[in-house]
């Protein structure tokens, strides 16, 4: 791979597995210096770190719950310290809780919103605080095609992902022209989130019913994130890119 990100300092949240893992590996292989976060996933994080370190020997991981303000802020500070600054933050950590609206408790709703939306807000706010002082940076938020499409039995998830799109546009306006803020909205991707423990068979069937006829690979999302982090994306802000096999067409 071209080393288009040589020396670029990056924090990826939710980097232990799935899309975050592929993103951390892709960014490191493009030359970036990488820190990644994870929560309650030590074994997977250790395996990912070993792979990322093949490209960036100084890469490190941080255990932190992005929904808890002190932990999210501390993770950003430790990243800045360990990387010697922060040029790009990828807000990827997320959870899904499938439940019909009438069975969705306030606790379940709040938990999904806290990780997906508040976590993106907390990490993004702290990263941007640093980027303002530094004089520039990039924020890449991971949304979802379900933020546009809606999906029965996924009230909190869809609301959180639509919120991430709105937050992306808001930050892009507020911090132009020095900080570029974009989102990637994946369609269905082959990760734990699409596994039987998280999603019912009926919902999984829906996920493969898209024009390209298959679900995506985590690396296909990582490619877009790596592009948005790089020099060729210098005139792009406030956008949400669908990488989705055609599940959403705009
Ligand atoms: N897989 C898909 O089909 C799909 C589609 C659209 C969007 N997405 C989004 O992509 C992102 C990554 O999802 P994935 O499919 O790789 O899922 P995954 O379950 O494989 O990985 C989730 C990651 O988030 C981390 N995480 C979970 N809760 C956390 C918390 N409270 N604090 C910090 N980290 C936490 C986990 O440690 C893990 O690294 C999510 O935001 C998800 O909503 C996924």
Query: Is 242 a pocket residue for ligand 1 (Cβ < 6 Å)?
Result: no
Mutate to test the pocket of ligand 1, among 14, 89, 119, 240 (most ligand atoms within 8 A of CB): 14
Residue 135 backbone zone (phi > 0: left; psi -120 to 50: alpha; other: beta): left
CA angle (104 as vertex; 103, 110 as ends), nearest 5: 165
Quote the pLDDT of residue 117.
98
User: What residues contact residue 28 under an 8 Å CB cut-off, 6+ apart?
Assistant: 34, 52, 55, 56, 59
DSSP-assigned letters across all residues of 184-207? EEE-SBSSGGGSTTTS-HHHHHHH
What per-residue confidence (pLDDT) applies to 158? 98
Beta bridge partners of residue 241, listed in sequence order: 184
Q: Is the CB of 92 under 6 A from ligand 1?
A: yes
List the catalytic residues: 157, 161
CA nearest ligand 1 atom 42, residue: 94
Which CATH number is 9-243 given? 3.40.50.720
Q: Is 189 in the pocket of ligand 1 (CB under 6 A)?
A: yes
Closest listed residue to residue 139, CA positions, set 92, 94, 96, 95: 92
Angle at which helix 18-29 crosses helix 218-229, to 10 degrees, equals: 50
- Residue 63's pLDDT is what? 98
Per-residue confidence (pLDDT) for residue 155, from 0 to 100: 98
pLDDT at 1: 65
- Angle, CA of 101, 104 and 106, to the nearest 5°: 125
Q: Which residue's CA lies nearest to atom 1 of ligand 1?
A: 189
Digitized pLDDT (tens) for each residue of the chain, 250 residues in all:
689 999 999 999 999 999 999 999 999 999 999 999 999 999 999 999 999 999 999 999 999 999 999 999 999 999 999 999 999 999 999 999 999 999 999 999 999 999 999 999 999 999 999 999 999 999 999 999 999 999 999 999 999 999 999 999 999 999 999 999 999 999 999 999 988 788 888 877 777 789 999 999 999 999 999 999 999 999 999 999 999 999 999 8
* Alpha carbon of 20 to ligand 1 centroid (Å): 7
Element (H, E) at 11: strand 9-12
**Measured in angstroms, how far is the CA atom of residue 156 from the centroid of ligand 1?**
15
Check pocket membership of 243 for ligand 1, CB cut-off 6 A: no
Q: What is the pLDDT of residue 42?
A: 96
In this prediction, residue 196 carries a pLDDT of: 78
Joined together, the tokens standing for residue 46 give 């250790």
Cα(3) to ligand 1 centroid in Å equals 27
Nearest to 110 by CA among 16, 119, 193, 143: 119
List the residue whose alpha carbon is closest to atom 2 of ligand 1.
189
Verify whether ligand 1 is closer than 6 Å to residue 12 (CB atom). no
Task: Answer yes or no: is the C-beta of 79 below 6 A from any ligand 1 atom.
Answer: no
Closest among 238, 146, 239, 155 to 187, alpha carbons compared = 146
């Amino acid at each position: 791979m071209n080393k288009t990100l040589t020396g670029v300092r990056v924090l990826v949240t939710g980097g232990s597995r799935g899309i975050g893992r592929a993103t951390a590996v892709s960014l490191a292989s493009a030359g970036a210096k990488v820190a990644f976060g994870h929560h309650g996933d030590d074994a997977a994080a250790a395996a990912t770190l070993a792979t990322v370190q093949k490209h960036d020997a100084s890469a490190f991981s941080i255990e932190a719950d992005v929904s808890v303000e002190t932990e999210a802020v501390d993770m950003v500070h430790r990243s800045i310290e360990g990387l010697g600054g922060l040029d790009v933050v990828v807000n990827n950590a997320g959870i899904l809780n499938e439940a019909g609206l009438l069975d969705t408790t306030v606790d379940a709703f709040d938990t999904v919103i806290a990780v997906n939306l508040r976590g993106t807000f907390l990490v993004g706010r702290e990263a941007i605080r640093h980027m303002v002082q530094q004089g520039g940076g990039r924020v890449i938020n991971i949304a979802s095609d379900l933020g546009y499409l809606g999906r029965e039995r996924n009230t909190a998830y869809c609301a959180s992902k639509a919120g991430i799109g709105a937050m992306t546009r808001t930050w892009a306006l507020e911090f132009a022209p020095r900080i570029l803020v974009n989102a990637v909205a994946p369609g269905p991707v082959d990760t734990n989130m699409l596994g039987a423990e998280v999603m019912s068979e009926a919902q999984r069937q829906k996920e493969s019913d898209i024009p390209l006829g298959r679900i995506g690979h985590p690396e296909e999302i990582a490619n877009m994130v790596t592009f948005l982090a790089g020099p060729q994306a210098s005139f792009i802000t406030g956008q949400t890119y669908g990488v989705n096999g055609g599940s959403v067409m705009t």
